[in-house]
Amino acid sequence: MAAIDTSRLSAVDRTARIGVIGATGAVGTVTLGLLAERGFENVRALASARSAGGRVNYGGDELRIEEASPELLAAGDLDLCLFSVGTSASRALVPHAAAGGAICIDKSSAYRLVDGYPLVVPEVNGARALEALERDRIVANPNCCTIPLTCVLKPLHDAVGIASVRISTYQSVSGAGAHRMTELEAEAAADHNLLMDWDWVGDESDEEAKLVAETRKIMELPDLPVSATCVRVPVLIGHSEAIWVELTESLSAEDAANILRGAPSVRVLDLPEFPTPQDATGIDEVLVGRIRRDPASERGLALFLSSDNLRKGAALNAIQIAELLLAGVAA
């Protein structure tokens, strides 16, 4: 398993024909903004039939919204597709785009835990994405909490090994879609509350199950003990996570901080600074702080992170995968 720093890629084809499916949603909008920032010249905006014919902003210009139909995706007019739609829509549309020859990066849970499909965070296991070029050209983008978590766990595991992980998440409403952001803004402050608006199987939510299973798959540690509690908080953008890590060897908080300072896409904050969703919003890095010894564990560390769930937690990670794959095709 090899990590890749996509910021160092130089052979990315910025003229590749890219389709953004789900272009009018919260993640799709951020995806378009990032593609424009990164100089991609040939981008199309696709969405549902009810949005077709409208327009979305692209780098100060506008794109006409096209209907993301199976026929359009299968036509062979796209080199790469970034899917920001629900699981059922991805299952219905992704195979058509792949059959048309496009590289597909899917942000839903449709392919994440299916054997044979790479689940990729470039800074953690980027080389896995290249396997898709030799198969069906489909790569899964992980959950918005799994991405920042593994960016932090990977360098610690490489240094001394990880024996177990416990996580408590504090997830913003944007993770539930743009409509939920609008609802929060319309609510009175008295209505703000913690939520567990997930689906449930017994005592575990689907959000918790995804975080556990995806972390194991990305880290390639199938037996890693992981326990998660996921909560929605009245914050518009930005997910935070409290993390307790049991290491296989002792590591001081100072050494852990120094290791993370050298990790790609991670920014370490020292007290009195500490990570917050507000500070993480609009930036590419995962903010990590409050790194300290866990007194409840012999070789344990406690950490706290915040990350922009629409950016690194979704759109940016997918674009980094896209750049990695486009560079691989060029090579």
Do the Cβ atoms of 299 and 163 come closer than 8 Å? yes
Is 145 a known active-site residue?
A: no
| Cα angle value 284/56/66 (rounded, 5°) | 115
Among residues 81, 104, 144, 151, the one annotated as catalytic is 144
Phi–psi pair at 3, nearest 5 degrees: -85, 150
d(CA 280, CA 214): 23
Q: Helix, strand or coil for residue 117?
A: coil
Is 239 a known active-site residue?
A: yes
Do the Cβ atoms of 281 and 308 come closer than 8 Å? yes
| Number of C-beta neighbours around residue 261 at 10 A | 12
d(CA 20, CA 176): 19
Q: Where are the alpha helices (DSSP H) in the chain?
A: 26-37, 70-74, 87-99, 122-125, 146-160, 178-186, 206-219, 253-261, 277-280, 316-330
Residues sharing a CB contact under 8 Å with residue 258, sequence separation 6 or more, in sequence order: none
d(CA 287, CA 305): 5
Among residues 81, 96, 145, 239, the one annotated as catalytic is 239
**Could you tell me which of 193, 192, 198 has the C-alpha nearest to residue 175?**
198
d(CA 73, CA 86): 17
The size of the chain, in residues, is 331
Where in the sequence numbering do the catalytic residues fall?
144, 239
